[in-house]
Chain A
Amino acid sequence: DTGVSQDPRHKITKRGQNVTFRCDPISEHNRLYWYRQTLGQGPEFLTYFQNEAQLEKSRLLSDRFSAERPKGSFSTLEIQRTEQGDSAMYLCASTRGLEQYFGPGTRLTVT
């Protein structure tokens, strides 16, 4: 059990560019969650998957955001036409029960 991993750890991009983040959950965890955390705040739910099915999306997830989990293992989160307001820490968590285990996060800075 190597824990949840996320790549990249840091991403700096210019406004208007597209970015993609990857999350590798703990193996055999069937649920995967994406959260967004801004400075001084707790994480906010974005979306979650049960196996390969995306079951819920937050209103925070605008049309510029898309997430996939094609084979029920790793997941990707893509942000198109990034805006400065997208600057945040993007966290991934996985679980097969009650407790969610978080990855180290991807820190996105949009300039």
Chain B
Amino acid sequence: TQLLEQSPQFLSIQEGENLTVYCNSSSVFSSLQWYRQEPGEGPVLLVTVVTGGEVKKLKRLTFQFGDARKDSSLHITAAQPGDTGLYLCAGLPISSSNTGKLIFGQGTTLQVKP
């Protein structure tokens, strides 16, 4: 069974603090995507990483794909209350490259207090 372990599961911080969310697996992924989900809504795609060691930035969010393409991290600088939400990592295993079937982590619930 291919699993994506996401940590931490819950994070409550003050506005202005930095944070990092981790996504780890023993499986190799051909690509990995990060989503943000609001309560009662579907996940919204933030970024896709495909190359080992790749780093992508989206304003205050920095995404990194591990060199071996087994792990990824999301770093948020100077968190804002608007960053509050559920962050999900989703990997496309090499074995599922043809199907596009994503494996999701359990999610990280982030609360940023003003």
Contacts and interface: CB of A to CB of B under 8 A. Distances in A.
B41 A100 contact: no
Interface of B: 4, 6, 31, 33, 35, 40-45, 48, 50, 88, 90, 92, 99-107
Interface in A21-54: 31, 33, 35, 40-45, 48
How would you classify the secondary structure of chain A's contact residues: helix, strand, loop or mixed? Answer: strand
A40 B92 CA distance: 21
Interface of A: 4, 6, 31, 33, 35, 40-45, 48, 55-56, 91, 93, 95, 98-105, 107
A107 B101 CA distance: 22
> Which residue among B4, B33, B90, B101 has the maximum number of chain A CB atoms within 10 Å of its CB?
B101
A97 to B, nearest CB: 9
B88 A42 contact: yes
A40 B99 contact: no
20 contacts: A6-B42, A33-B100, A41-B106, A42-B106, A43-B88, A43-B102, A44-B104, A48-B99, A95-B100, A98-B31, A99-B45, A100-B33, A100-B45, A100-B100, A102-B35, A102-B44, A103-B42, A104-B42, A105-B40, A105-B41
